[in-house]
Amino acid sequence: MPTILQQVDAFTDRPFSGNPAAVCWLDQPREDTWMQNVADEMNLAETAFVYPEQDALRLRWFTPLVEVDLCGHATLATAHALWQQEPFAVEPLLTFETRSGMLSARRHGSMIELDFPTAPAFEETPPAGLLESLGITECIFCGKNAWDWLVEIDSAEKIRQLNPNHAMLAPVTSRGVMVTARSDDPRFDFISRFFAPAAGLPEDPVTGSAHCALGVYWSERLSKNTLSAYQASRRGGSLEVEIRNDRALLRGHAVTVARIELVV
């Protein structure tokens, strides 16, 4: 049987927007080197590999450079891809074993809902070079979780205009930095952008895992549990975030744009 990759635009209901991910269904695991090479060949923010493991599904995510611990848009893309094929088409709930524990995806009307752990950012002094590399001189808040920095600034328009120095930014981040502000669009509560040159992604179009931190942050700032978010990258994408105790429910749409047969 040929190995099929499905390319899916996640956190959007329109093709050629949102965050593209490749999803590769495997009957059995392949070597890590092979998966990393496929991800490099796809040259997308993430390539997801999903395969049976005992009575569960194992899900792994690779950027063109590294394997990562958590990826929202590629998980949403994987659920979308699996629900388009047997025997998964009739399943209301999919669960995945991952490097971040058990994750699940369920149908939520026309959207897909991901059940992820929250990842709050705790206030820290920005390291030397962080704000300078973003091209900003001051911020309302700066904090960090296990993976990323979170920086709030005072203007949604400044978010849209950011043009970071990626060569300067990479050494001062472990994975990436999310920069956020209150939205000036009444459809959304907050907007953000996400830069991760240290992981080989100068800018990620729509970052589900970042909203495990952004959702907690804005839920506390705005005193509401369910929020609408927009990630203001060139492609752009939107999602809904609901915070329930230590879980972040991330909701969004997905669109298939291509199916590719691997011959190696």
Ramachandran sector of residue 109 (left: φ over 0; alpha: ψ -120 to 50; beta: rest) = left
Greater model confidence, 194 or 1:
194
pLDDT at 1 over 70: no
- Give me the percent of the chain exceeding a pLDDT of 70: 100
- Give me the percent of the chain exceeding a pLDDT of 90: 87
Residue type, 16: F
Continuous segment of H or E residues that includes residue 39: helix 32-42
- What's the pTM? 0.90
> What's phi and psi for 46, nearest 5 deg?
-145, 145
pLDDT at 264 over 70: yes
pLDDT at 206 over 90: yes
Q: What is the mean pLDDT of residues 11-27?
A: 95
Q: What is the mean pLDDT of residues 123-143?
A: 96
pLDDT at 86 over 90: no
Neighbours of 250 (CB within 10 A): 27
125-129 long-range Cβ contacts below 8 angstroms, 24+ apart: 126/151, 127/172, 128/172, 129/168, 129/169, 129/171, 129/172
| Ordered structural domains, the chain, with CATH | 3-117+251-262 (3.10.310.10), 122-245 (3.10.310.10)
pLDDT tens by residue, 167-176? 999 999 988 9
Neighbours of 32 (CB within 10 A): 12
pLDDT at 192 over 70: yes
Catalytic residue numbers? 46
pLDDT tens by residue, 225-244? 999 999 999 999 999 999 99
> What's phi and psi for 228, nearest 5 deg?
-100, 135
Residue 168's pLDDT is 95
Q: Strand 190-196 relative to strand 226-231: parallel, antiparallel, unpaired?
A: parallel
pLDDT at 88 over 90: no
Is the torsion defined by CA of 110, 114, 120, 125 positive or negative? negative
pLDDT tens by residue, 104-116? 999 999 999 999 9
Is the torsion defined by CA of 133, 134, 139, 141 positive or negative? negative
Query: Which residues are within 8 A (CB) of 195 and not within 5 positions of it... i.e. 6 or more apart?
Result: 134, 164, 166, 169, 173, 176, 177, 179, 201, 202, 203, 204
